[in-house]
Chains A and B, each alone.
Chain A
């Protein structure tokens, strides 16, 4: 048990105690509180909570590594995951807030006047959130396993217990304030190493301005080595794959139920707009830093690690080689490690860099606490989405409409516990790489919810049969393309499984529009409701008349 172990454990335990303390303090009492925090969270804090919800283990642990390995082609993740907030805040969030329901399936069911649509949406919510949470749990398993030096499986189990505990105890309200704390922990943990590396390498404490220098130096090193240059586009995949992936991540962001439900926690459409803006600012801090992180890590590896003799490698290498995520083979037997002989996995770049750059045990421990905050906060939000879909949309609205609040709360809590345990069991032996699973969840969201919500909000003529056809076709095309591309080698324009959302979304929109036009239009009342969504709360549209209310 060395000093590093004690420091990491202390920081993780300390931050956990903080989150759980907040969750217990806010222990939800009413259903309305449990799901959407009593609709009273101020936009700045809601923005932070959205940020914590949003930035998962994949963003925190995987993003900088992905950019470092893929170079320019990794930037599709950066632009896709931030650009989604434009679609969400401009096209969906304020309108959904005005419609005022608890969950996304409830909106779809009520807007389209269709129980079948609500059930399909509830099932889709569960599939998407569940897929996503498997990635979070296996991410937390890797972090706990590596830092506490226990087996990954035990690490995953520890994560499962913690998530199940505080999601079920606190509900969304506990989680909103917990997530504000988690955001602060994870962003501080992420920025400190980048700033230190920037100081070390460029004597400039502002990484966003200084890494251009490092990139120019790397260009000349790349050219000397004759390897494909870091900043040259489309070396790893086609331009169409880049754009399809970017679209999938954007549309998926706008369709993720656990992110949208955050916008129900504000009071007005105005607050929803401000929440979206604050959220992207807070998220942007990490996403703007990831390419700097990637550039610094790559530069340090190229100049300080590559070129050293194999008999005399730094101490940090051994534990990571043992995990199988780093390989340092002496291909040409000259006793010296060349850059091309160093193979590093995306997933360890962020966790290993503080060790590589020798930033000290406190920073390394802080990274562990930050990574855990990212994994736990996202998993917590996902669990609430699953629980709401099961207890509210399926149980209360379809099976037992007479259920008391107490009964519904207990169904909600038990579904969190069961879903966490089930996701944890799958995470013990994950079906694919974490980033891959996450990308599938986005593809499914962009093929199902994005078109259903977009047309539901902006097109009065869209009706129940249309949305049912749209969601079924969208989900089938997305799933079909993922499987065909991954296992059948079938691709269009070089677009692989992670870009599947572009086909799913297009097919869903075509199906929804076609079927809606071929069947009877929605009732006058429904069409009026949709027209009403064009205006802020102070304007009400009814029977062809506009009314102002509650204005100065």
Chain B
């Protein structure tokens, strides 16, 4: 256990929060945003499906999945950058608990 620079800790929190707000913003845009303007977006089509229907049935869900994986990757990267990689990766204990 060693002390950490409070400014660094705060910077970590700010960065993570900003990223999450951006992800949530994108998530809301592809769902609520498209719904809000659904009527005026009907003339655009994707694979023969009008845009609002396409977004509701595929586009938004695929975006959500990509955002979640993106967040998982980026968070691991941010943790590494701030020197927060755990010492024991606890692989052995993981498996032990599953027996």
Spell out A's residues near B (CB within 8 Å).
37-42, 67, 72, 75-76, 78-79, 82-83, 85-87, 89-91, 208-209, 211-213, 215-216, 231-234, 239, 242-243, 246, 267-268, 270, 273-274, 276-277, 280-281, 284, 287-288, 291, 534-541, 544-552
Contact = CB atoms under 8 A, between A and B. Distances in A.
B48 A216 contact: yes
A72 B57 CA distance: 9
Interface in B4-25: 4-6, 8-9, 12-13, 16-17, 20, 23-24
A550 B88 contact: yes
Given A273-B71, A535-B9, A548-B1, 13 more contacts: A79-B60, A87-B24, A231-B53, A239-B38, A270-B72, A273-B75, A284-B62, A288-B61, A548-B2, A549-B1, A551-B87, A552-B83, A552-B87
List the 8 closest pairs (A to B, CB-CB), nearest first: A40-B97, A75-B56, A212-B47, A291-B57, A212-B48, A277-B68, A546-B4, A546-B9
A39 B95 CA distance: 11
17 contacts: A40-B93, A72-B56, A78-B61, A79-B60, A82-B61, A86-B27, A209-B47, A216-B48, A239-B35, A243-B36, A270-B79, A277-B68, A280-B65, A539-B4, A546-B3, A551-B84, A552-B87
Contacts of A537: 86
Contacts of B4: 539, 546-548
Contacts of A281: 65, 68-69
Chain A residues touching B, majority SS: helix
Nearest to B78: A536
B75 A270 contact: yes
Interface of B: 1-6, 8-9, 12-13, 16-17, 20, 23-24, 27, 31-32, 35-36, 38-39, 42, 46-50, 52-54, 56-58, 60-62, 64-65, 67-69, 71-72, 75-76, 79, 83-88, 90, 93-98
Given A233-B38, A267-B90, A215 B24 contact: no
A534 B18 CA distance: 13
Contact of A212 (B49, B64, B71, B95): B49
A72 B68 contact: no
B72 A277 contact: yes
Contact of A291 (B16, B17, B58): B58
B42 A86 contact: no
A79 B52 CA distance: 12
Given A79-B60, A90-B71, A215 B48 contact: yes
Contacts of A75: 53, 56-57
A536 B77 CA distance: 13
A551 B79 CA distance: 11
Contacts of A544: 6
B88 A86 contact: no
A267 B50 CA distance: 43
A93 B12 CA distance: 19
B75 A284 contact: no
Contacts of B83: 548, 551-552
Chain B residues touching A, majority SS: helix
Contacts of A268: 86
Nearest to B76: A270
Contact of B56 (A79, A89, A216, A277): A79
A284 B53 contact: no
Contact of B32 (A37, A85, A246, A291): A246
Given A234-B38, A535-B12, A536-B79, A277 B2 contact: no
A280 to B, nearest CB: 5
Contacts of B87: 550-552
A535 B13 contact: yes
B6 to A, nearest CB: 6
Contacts of A87: 24
B62 A83 contact: no
Contacts of A233: 35, 38-39, 42, 52-53
Given A273-B72, A538-B84, A547 B2 contact: yes
Contacts of B57: 67, 75, 78, 288, 291
Contacts of B68: 85-86, 89, 273, 276-277, 280-281
A274 B75 CA distance: 10
B92 to A, nearest CB: 11
B53 A551 contact: no
B76 to A, nearest CB: 7
A90 to B, nearest CB: 5
A40 B90 CA distance: 10
A551 B84 CA distance: 6
Given A284-B64, A288-B62, A552-B85, A547 B3 contact: yes
Residue from B32, B56, B88 whose CB has the most chain A CB atoms within 10 Å: B56
A288 B49 contact: no
A90 B24 contact: yes
Contacts of B2: 547-549
